[in-house]
Every structure is written in C-alpha cells, then in structure tokens.
Structure 1
Amino acid sequence: MTAIVHFEVQIDPAHREDAAKYLSETLAATRAWPGNQGIEALVDDADPCHILVVETWATTQDHDDYAAWRRTPEGKSGLHEVLAAPPSKQVYSTTLPLNLQPSQG
C-alpha cells in the first residue's frame, strides 16, 4: 500500500535564506531513493520558516528502508544545520473509507 509521509521542519530564521539550498540537496537523495513516487515542499503562509515536506512512497517498507539509510553516516544530511527545532514525521498508510452509506433508521 502507498505511504504518505509528512516531514515538518522549522527553519531557524537566521538561516531562512539557506533553507531552499539545504532542502534541495537533502530532497534530491530522497527523490532518487527506490520507491519514492513524489515529493513536495510546502511553505506555511503564516510562517515562512515552517515547511511541510510531503513524500509519496510505493510502500511503507520503501520509506522505512530510506529512513534507516538516513540514520547512517552515509545518509546523514546537512539539513540539521539550518533547523530551529528537531523535525517531526508522520507516516500514513491506512485509509479510512469515506463511501459509507447513512444508517437506515
């Protein structure tokens, strides 16, 4: 089943001008990882230092393999250098059916 990952980062305002460079370098490796089907970085209208990265993966396992690689010395990125706080991540791979009929009563 497809997995959607939300990866939220808060950029240090002192590094806001560098954010695109660091994100581009980091996300190039993400985009190239087997199973990645798409990636987008969304900037919060109310806070331009708050960025939501939305990733689509073929499977949860593809994302898990990628995340494990990111924890290795080879996979570590420089993104942490421009962050104001640790990032947060949520993985969504289960859907809620929304085609339910109203109960008959």
Structure 2
Amino acid sequence: MSAIGAIDFFRTTASPTPKPWMRALFTQLESPISEASIGIGCDAGYGRLVRRRNSAEQSHYLTGVRISMAIQVTIDMSAREGRFDDLREWFVKNLPGTRSFPGNISVEVARNQDDPAHILFVEKWDKRSDFEAYLAWRDESGVIAELLEMLDGEITFRYHDFLGV
C-alpha cells in the first residue's frame, strides 16, 4: 500500500480492477499513487473519489470531494505599494516549504480583482496545531519578518471548520 493509504473509488457499478481512465485521474492527484492502493466499491449510487490518508481523523477529498476533520486557514494581507512583484517572488521562493510541511494539505494564493494589492491565502491543514507549528517555524527562521517588510498593515488569520455539507 502507498504511503497515503488506500484509494476507494465508489461508483454505481462495482469493478474488480481499475480502469485506464481511473489511472489517468489518479495521476492528477497531489501524491503518487500505486495501483495496489486503488480499491473499487459501491456507494449507494453516488459516484465519488475518496482519497484516504494514513490518519483516522480525516478523509481528504480533491476536486469537490468532502474534507472532514481538516481545517481551513484563510490569511489576508495587502502588499505595500510598489512591492507586489517582490512579494510574488517571495511566495515562489517560500511556498514549497509550506506545501511540504507536515500536516499541510494544500495552499492556494489569490489576488483580489478589485483591489490588486490585496492577497488571500486559502490553506488546508490536517489540524490547527500543524498550522501553528508551521507558523512558529516560519517565525523562528525569520521568514515572517521578511514578509512583513513587503506588507501594508496587518496579516489576518481566520480558522474554519468544514461543515461537510
């Protein structure tokens, strides 16, 4: 079995072996998945891909699939005038460390269409303590101080639980 655990693909018709289109879909996931980790089953007619990680507390879904027991962190910030390009380079340099930090599921960064200096991070973490450990690591390494030099105002952090609806 792969490191991320088993994949259960639920379709209205059970199939004993993965189909070629399923393998193609799995290659688009964040982590490599071996064929040995693919399971096919039936879920009362609801076709959905379930990616299970080695954690009893969550099942991670991609592309519209439900996340449970994970948290979402939104981070709002505004670039200082004339510093957006520097800020973008900083993101490119530092986001690989975020994405590889234990407990990180995903990170997306967006720029506000109506206020281009405003940046929004949408991050998913296994649990809040994982994000807090990550933030402490970034603070201790001096990366947050670098970031603050390029920002106008404060950074706002918000923590959200998924409702599963």
Match of 1:102 in 2: none
CA RMSD of aligned residues (A): 1.7
1:19 aligns with 2:58: no
**Residue 63 (1) aligns with residue 155 (2):** no
Q: Which one has a larger percent helix, Structure 1 or Structure 2?
A: 1
Aligned to 2:98: 30
Q: How many residues align?
A: 96
* Partner Cα separation in structure 1 for residue 98 and residue 73 of structure 2: 12
Q: Are 1:85 and 2:158 an aligned pair?
A: no
Q: Is the 8 A contact 2:72 2:162 kept in 1?
A: no
Same amino acid, percent of matched pairs = 28
Cα pair 1:23 1:79 within 8 Å, conserved: no
Question: If the length of structure 2 is used for normalisation, what is the TM-score?
Answer: 0.53
Unaligned runs of 5+ in 1: 99-105
Structure 1 residue ranges, 4+ long, deviating more than 6 angstroms after superposition: none
> Is the Cα contact below 8 Å between 1:26 and 1:79 reproduced in 2?
no
Q: C-alpha separation between the residues in 2 aligned to 1:59 and 1:42?
A: 22
1:75, CA displacement in angstroms? Answer: 5.2
Matched to 2:143, the amino acid is: K
Q: Which structure: larger Rg?
A: 2
What is the SS of the residue equivalent to 2:92?
A: helix
TM-aligned CA distance change 1:55 to 1:75, over 3 Å: farther
- Give the corresponding residue for 2:143: 76
Q: Distance in 2 between matches of 1:15 and 1:85?
A: 13
In the alignment, the residues of structure 2 paired with residue 76 and residue 17 of structure 1 have an alpha-carbon distance, to the nearest angstrom, of 17
- Deviations for 1:60-101, whole angstroms, at most 9, x for unmatched residues? 2211211222231x2534211210112111111253x75xxx
Q: Deviations over 1:34-82 (max 9, x none)?
A: 111110001101011101011111112211211222231x253421121
Structure number with higher relative contact order (C-alpha < 8 Å, ≥ 6 residues apart): 1
- Alignment gaps of 5+ in structure 2: 1-68
